[in-house]
Structure 1
Amino acid sequence: MSKISNISTDGTLLPTQNDSASNHTEIVVSSELTTDEWRDRIFLERQVEKAFYAAAKALKELRDRRLYRSTHTTFENYCRSRFGFTHRHVNYLIAGSSVVDNLMGTNGSQIKILDEMGTNGSQIEIPDEMGTIGSQIKIPNEMGTIGSQILPTSERQVRPLVPLDPEQQRLVWQQAVEQGGGKIPSGRQVQDIVDKIRERTKVPLPYHVGEVCILLPKDNPELKGKSGCWGVITHVGDYSCTLETWDAEYTVTIEHLKSLELLDEDCQFMRQLCVRLRRLHQIENRDIAIDWLCSGLGKQLKPYLSPLQSKLLDHVEQEYGLTA
C-alpha cells in the first residue's frame, strides 16, 4: 500500500512507497489511487490542458473512472480547483466531443484528437478505459482534417449541434463546411444553419422559468445517472431550457424534460429546497454524508419533507453554519 506525501511542481499529489523507518503513521483510505491510476490521472490532466477534443476525452475518463477521488470529493470541485473550469464548461466540452465522435463516425473507442495548434501527423499513446497503454490518438493537420474529412477544432464550433440528433448533426456540419468554401466553419456559421432548420419546425416550449421538472436522460450522455432527478428551470430559450439541480446545471431540449405539474406553492417549496441543497453541495471539504442526503432528496419528487428528513437537513445546515 502506498501513501501520499509528495506534491509535484504543478500542485498534483504524488504517491511514494512506504518507508519502514518513517515516524509517520500510514492512513489507509478507500479513495487512494493506485500507482497506475496516478500515472493515468497525471497523463490525462496534461491532455486537458491541450486541445478541445483531447481535453474533453481526458475529462470524461477522469470523471468516469473517478481519478479525482483521492484529492477532491466531487468532480465539479476537482475541475474548478485543478483547471479553473466551471461545471457548465466541462459539460460543453464533453458534449462537444460526442458530436465530433458522431461526425467521425466513431463511438469514441477510436480516439482522434483535433489539435487546435495544428499538429500535423503526430501520434501519442494514452491509457484506455482499463488503465492500460496502447491506444493511439490521431491528430489532424492544420486544416482540422483526418484524411479528406473536415472536422471541428473548437468546442464553440459544435455547441449548436449538441441538441440535434446524430443525423441532423452530420447534415448541418456538412452544409456549414460547404457554405464556408470547404474550410472549417465558425460557430456562428453553424448556428445560423441550425436556426434556419429549427425555424421551419419551431415548436413552442411548454415550460416556464421556476417550473419543477425531472430529467429524462434518453440518448444524452451528459445526463447519465440523472434519471429521475428533479430541478428548477432557470432559463427558457427558443429551443432548449436550462435546469438547475442540487449539484449541477443542464441545458437540454424538450424531450429530456418532464414537468411534475405542481401547484405554485409546491413549486415554491421545491425551489427553496433546491437552493438549500445547492448551498450544501458547494461546501468545500464537506462530509460525504452530505452528498448522500442531497442525492436522495434530489430524486424525491414529493413537494414536502418528512419530519425526519427535515430534522436531518436542519442539523446538517447548522453543522456547517448555514440557515434554512
Structure 2
Amino acid sequence: MNKASDVKYHSTPLALMSNNEPVATESSSTVDSSTSIPVEAAQVEVLEELTYDEQRDRHRLELGVEQAFYQAGKALSELRERRLYCSTHKTFEAYCQDRFGFTRRHSDYLIAGAVVVENLQEMRTIYSQILPTKLEQIKPLASLKPDEQRQVWDKAVETANGKVPSGRIVKGIVEQLKEKPLVLNKYYCQVGDVFTLVRLEGKEKKYNGCWAIAVEPRDLTVIVDVHDVTLTVKPDNLDKIGSPDVKRQLPHTLKRIRRLREVGSLDRGAYNVLEDLGKHTYLTPVEESLLSWLEKYYRFR
C-alpha cells in the first residue's frame, strides 16, 4: 500500500470541518460509519452506467469526503510547523479559533488524526486497505503507541466484519487494552514457531517445561501442539525458542511421538520414554536410539 505521502486526499475547506462543534460526534452524520465501505464493495442497484472517467472521479471525490479530517490535520500541522499564522496572530490557538472556529483541542485532534492515518497505512494485513473515515474513529487511538494503534484498528475492523468500524467499536477495544494489555498473537508468532510452556496452572500445570509448536495464532490466544495433546494458551505461557534447528526438528519428533501414542496397548516403559521426550527440544543419541527402537518394536519401521 502506498505511504501516506503518496496518497492524494482532495480538498475540503477547513472551515467546513468545524460545524461550530469542538469535536465531531458520530451522531453528527446520517451515515453510520460502520457501514461506510468503498462503493466498489457495496451491493447496490446500478441506476445509470458511469464511464470509466466518471467512476474514477467519483472514487476520488468520495475519498476526499471520507478523509477530509486527514487533509485538515495535515494542513494544520504544516501551518503550525512553519508558523504561517504569525503574520496575523500571536498564537496558533488564536489563529485556529479566528480562521476556522476550531478550539485548540479540536485542532490537536485533527493533527493527531493525520498522524494515526499515516501509521495505519503501514499495516500489512488483510484489512490494510480499510482506513478511518471520521475523526471519532481516530480519537481513541491518538494516545496509543504506533504498534498498539495498528493492532486495535485491525481488531476493530475485524469486529465490524471487515467494514470501517464505528468510533464506539474502536473506543471499546481501546478500553479493553487499558484494562489488560492486548497482545494480538498474529503479530506475536506464526504457525510453526516453537516455545517452552511456562506458568500454566490447574490441570495443564504438568506441561510446564514441555516444548510446544504453534498451530493457530488467534487474537488473544495461541493453539499449540505438545507431545500428547493440543492446548490453547496465552502469550504469558509461551517462552519462545529461537533456534532454527529446533524449529526444523521438533515437528518431525512430534509426528513420531504422536504416531506411537496412537498404539492402543502402549507399554508403561514406552509411555514413560515418550513423556520424557516431550520435555526436551532435541534428541540425544541415546534418546534417538530409544525412539527408533520403539518404532521398530511397534512395527512402524
Bigger Cα Rg:
2
Bigger fraction of residues in strand: 1
- TM-score normalised per structure 1: 0.36
Return the TM-score normalized by structure 2: 0.39
Bigger helix share: 2
